[in-house]
Structure 1
């Protein structure tokens, strides 16, 4: 065996470990899915707590009107919730759209906060902190500006968090509203079902562990006060605040009956910009929290620290290395002594990958079909390979931020 054989073994080993972990999470998620099917939610809460629904928005004229209208139609007592839109340093017609909505709904508790380049424009965390100062609810529910939650979404979140004082937050599920638009949105839809909510379900099933997404979740006001608000330096403020909640001794539960629909990127350019931002933000969170890997106070969140380390360092290096070895193997400039075995392991990995995704999407009505099966087969060679490029660029962007001490600003996801 030569050095290239050892590098090949490393890449295959890391890839297989990652696939195995995700398969286990999918199995756990499916078990939790079967449990949720038996859950009977209450038609009405005995005592509805007052809730502040906050929506940070920056240049969201294409979607903000639809989002606010869906929030006004929630099945929750009108006098028990307020809607706070943080129109953060927008230069489009968002302000005019929101003013019109306020005029059309004079009896509703709709609050619009307009910031400028001095007070705002510093990212989602800063916008949430601004909205938090104006909020009155004992519970805070967060939605992104492109979301249209189903009517019972907030009720399900509140009923769940009120059932257990150990819960610091409860997260719901988000679905891809424009999943049929093109091949990219079909990829995102399958990714969301498998690696977003099914993985969340599996982690809750096995470890009572979840990570807050950027939208459709409720958190206790008292905990935000104790934390001193959202971290303004965190691009992925949702992941960052999840780690702090666990260190405080609280849990985050997944309630998939609470559903919101959101618009996903429809072009590779927009997708790349969004996902590289996520990757950069997650690297920041990992670096910030890595020291807690050795602290018992971190509890089960240490699994997430290990998982992020695996994904953004070991798995990323394994994927890039695997592609490099594949290319030089084609040129026949080097000789592999375990080539035959590597092909067998690769075929097995591809088969397990595809099967686990099919199991995951089978939990959603209408998603298990021939078209999606073909999309899954194609996904491994295209969409998943692009992830390596995104993660590498995100890591590079994080290093640039650290070196040049760049200030956190809005990373606008273009709407359609």
Structure 2
């Protein structure tokens, strides 16, 4: 029992350290890789693209998104706005804007008769797609003019099925908004760079900016309407069909994030529940798959959920011991290692960001709270999602209007 206890203690203490080192190493490799572009894929830069914009109660944000889409530095594309039976003025706002504007980009408004959920709304819109590629984004996202061009360049192999870009937080009026800004720069970008460079593909595309090969979407039968997170689910369904999924930090999309803790945890728990769904659906396949990289990508999710419970148990043991012995002590060396590694990681993130995220002094002032914020919320959302999946969860691909801050 003592040996088992020591192993669990080691795992609880060093899992965050090991993962941080992997993220730093993988991001460094990603930043130093020499990417060549095969001229035989020059036709990609004029490939036909359909942008799918699913909406549900987006009256306050959809027009800004449309303005960013028609301003892309690209010519051969069209837009389909698919409204999933909004109960606000989304449809009216879009129709009014189309009536008073004549964009050069063809735009179709598809009104669904019933609320079907995001995944099924995308499937309905897919029946109108005739292009080689499909870009899926959200109705609160503002795409950088060069985003589409940058993603197409990553389809430099015939077996690349999807490419995702880099979200940049644009609402930073609260501490929570600024902490998420650092999270996207310092952790999420690190993780995706590391996964792509070390394991030949990423865990999941970002639903807010994902470019798919139409052939790949057809190969997997479209989006799963029962999936809680259609982007995570689609990533692994593509992977099972041997399609590659890549990441490019050069394709930027400016997003709104929750600015209330209630909205934030609802979002993150939904992501975590969706991740667990994907794990249970794919664990057997990955286990029997000979590709070690595939195993690591999926089972890292399991490792993080195990760590969450062990960390919680260790915390309560520490509290009980402190009360019982009337002494207060902290593992100083371990804490210094945590601080050092997270400082290195955030500095690496800022350097590789190349001012794309336009970090301000207000953002930087949140750095001392950044590490605690990330690992604490990771622990809470992991445990909450496990409880939901084991007790209350029923698979349903519906959606509600999220907290998008200000």
Same fold (TM over 0.5): yes
Distance 1:15 1:51, change over 3 A: farther
1:349 counterpart = 2:346 = no
Which residues of 2 match residues 308-387 of structure 1 at below 5 A? 308-312=301-305, 314-332=306-324, 342-366=331-355, 372=363, 374-387=365-378
Aligned to 1:94: 90
1:290 counterpart = 2:279 = no
Aligned residue pairs total 399
Aligned-residue offset at 1:242: 1.4
Secondary structure (helix, strand or coil) at the match of 2:246 reads strand
Secondary structure (helix, strand or coil) at the match of 1:213 reads coil
Q: Deviations over 1:205-234 (max 9, x none)?
A: 122121211122211111111211111121
Q: Deviations over 1:356-390 (max 9, x none)?
A: 23322232245688765542321233443133222
1:137 counterpart = 2:105 = no
Aligned to 1:303: 296
Distance 1:249 1:240, change over 3 A: same
Q: CA separation in 2, counterparts of 1:383 and 1:171? A: 23
Secondary structure (helix, strand or coil) at the match of 1:60 reads coil
Which residues of 2 match residues 205-224 of structure 1 at below 5 A? 205-210=197-202, 211-224=204-217
Aligned to 1:14: 12
Secondary structure (helix, strand or coil) at the match of 2:142 reads strand
Aligned to 2:220: 227
Aligned-residue offset at 1:288: 1.0
Aligned-residue offset at 1:136: 1.8
Aligned to 1:242: 235
Aligned to 1:108: 105
1:192 equivalent among 158, 181, 184: 184
| 2:137–2:210 CA contact under 8 A, matched in 1 | yes
Aligned to 1:393: 384
Aligned-residue offset at 1:326: 2.8
| 1:26–1:360 CA contact under 8 A, matched in 2 | no
Q: CA separation in 2, counterparts of 1:128 and 1:22? A: 36
Aligned to 1:176: 169
* Structure 1 moving runs of 4+ over 6 Å: 38-42, 367-370
Secondary structure (helix, strand or coil) at the match of 1:142 reads strand
Q: CA separation in 2, counterparts of 1:299 and 1:240? A: 20
Q: Deviations over 1:87-110 (max 9, x none)?
A: 112111111111022222265311
Q: CA separation in 1, counterparts of 2:282 and 2:200? A: 19
Q: CA separation in 1, counterparts of 2:290 and 2:7? A: 36
Aligned-residue offset at 1:27: 2.2
Aligned-residue offset at 1:15: 4.1
Q: CA separation in 2, counterparts of 1:214 and 1:258? A: 13
1:127 counterpart = 2:121 = yes
Aligned-residue offset at 1:194: 2.5
Distance 1:127 1:12, change over 3 A: farther
Q: Deviations over 1:191-211 (max 9, x none)?
A: 112322221111111221212
Q: CA separation in 2, counterparts of 1:333 and 1:9? A: 24
Q: CA separation in 1, counterparts of 2:131 and 2:263? A: 35
Distance 1:98 1:11, change over 3 A: farther
Question: Is there any run of 5+ residues in structure 2 with no aligned partner, and where?
Answer: none
Aligned-residue offset at 1:393: 1.7
Q: CA separation in 1, counterparts of 2:149 and 2:38? A: 9
Q: Deviations over 1:115-144 (max 9, x none)?
A: 243xx2x33211211111222211111111
| 1:28–1:201 CA contact under 8 A, matched in 2 | yes
Distance 1:83 1:261, change over 3 A: same
1:58 equivalent among 56, 60, 64: 56
Question: Is there any run of 5+ residues in structure 1 with no aligned partner, and where?
Answer: none
Distance 1:287 1:335, change over 3 A: farther
Secondary structure (helix, strand or coil) at the match of 1:52 reads strand
Aligned-residue offset at 1:11: 4.2
Distance 1:408 1:244, change over 3 A: closer
> Normalization by structure 2: what TM-score?
0.89
